[in-house]
Amino acid sequence: MSEIVRVIGNGADLADGEVPNELAEKDLIELFRWLVLLRTFDERAVALQRQGRIGTYALYWGEEATQAGALYACEDADWVFPSYRQNAIGILRGVPASTVLAWWRGYGGTHGFWNPRDHRVGPITVPIATHLPHAVGVAWAAKIRKDRASSLAWFGDGATSEGDFHEAMNFASVLKTSTVFFCVNNQWAISTPISKQMASETIAQKAVAYGMPGVRVDGFDPIACWKVTRDALERGRQGGGPTLIEAYCYRIMPHGTADDPRLYRDEAESEHWRALEPVGRMAEFLRRRSILDDAQEEQIRAEAKQLVAQAVTDMEAIAHPGQEILFDHVYASGRPWNFDEALDELHQVERPAEVKPLGPPTTPGAGEEGKTI
């Protein structure tokens, strides 16, 4: 089993490693700010779902390091492709947080989507692994144009069982595209444990079959996630081709707000992993280095709460789209005549009764910060 790259220790028996020279104190603070913003959004989104104000939501609580660390290693010209569990990554690139919330509310078109070209952030992908070939295609196009841009795609351990994963890995390796395959191995594909997902010892070793490097990293360590992603991107830009990164962590929370993990796993194990979650871990690391104090942390958290609170207000100010939104964005040239017939028929269907909001959050920690907003 390959060694796991780690920088942040635990302040006790696990010593801290060296911070790469390229990361100044201001970078470490900004990286922490990103972690807090992602965490605040996630907790608020869970609270909104429980209140019936958005639909079923996929939590990423505890996996913020795999998102913020990897994205911080990217250049502005690089393209990133999230799955549903990196749903808020766009807000770190200028996508309005209200737009992401509107997407979870079920709004489409101009209500809950953004132009990927404006932010170089692909759309949130729900089908498993289907965005990986897209990431390869973008990097291949950049290579043909002699463009420096690379691509980064996140996916879970369950995605490695999909054909799209293997096809994308093969194409990227053969074409030597500058693509980073970032697998968040949280050890659960809904209720399927990693032990029943694959027979190989690690995900990283799957890279050998495709002639690319495979790297394992502590998925709760944002600095280590930054380092391995930065190295992979630089290798790709220099013509070395793609890299597979396995971020080893744990899905501390349920798969989504409609999931109850108590039915298929021992939640005592989740509590063991909870101590390694990246927001608190990064804060303690910065304190050990005298980079962060209580006042700074309080300000960062307050700013994140205010941003997300404003996003909720903006999202709920959006007028509910009409039924025509189901048809308007299928063809660039407008709706064909049979779409108009279908829309007329849809207008005649009685609107279903409003769904009652669900009860209060039952997941430990869910909505904790959202209640204060």
Angle at 247 between CA 245 and CA 250, to 5 degrees: 155
Provide the 10 A C-beta neighbour count for residue 179: 35
Per-residue model confidence as pLDDT tens digits over 50-79? 999 999 999 999 999 999 999 999 999 999
Per-residue model confidence as pLDDT tens digits over 311-338? 999 999 988 877 777 787 788 887 888 8
Q: Please give the average per-residue pLDDT across 238-265, as a whole number.
A: 97
Is pLDDT at 357 greater than 80 in this prediction?
Answer: no
Is pLDDT at 257 greater than 60 in this prediction?
Answer: yes
Structure tokens at 308: 């997300």
pLDDT-above-70 percentage for the chain: 92
Distance from C-alpha of 26 to C-alpha of 190, rounded to nearest angstrom: 37
All domains in the chain, ordered by first residue? 4-372 (3.40.50.970)
Residue found under tokens 């069982």: 161
Q: Which residues touch 121 (CB under 8 Å, ≥6 apart)?
A: 79, 80, 82, 89, 90, 93, 95, 114
Average per-residue pLDDT for the chain: 91
Nearest alpha carbon to residue 136 among 83, 178, 85: 178
Per-residue model confidence as pLDDT tens digits over 3-52? 999 999 987 888 899 999 999 999 999 999 999 999 999 999 999 999 99
Tell me the catalytic residues. Answer: 251, 255, 264
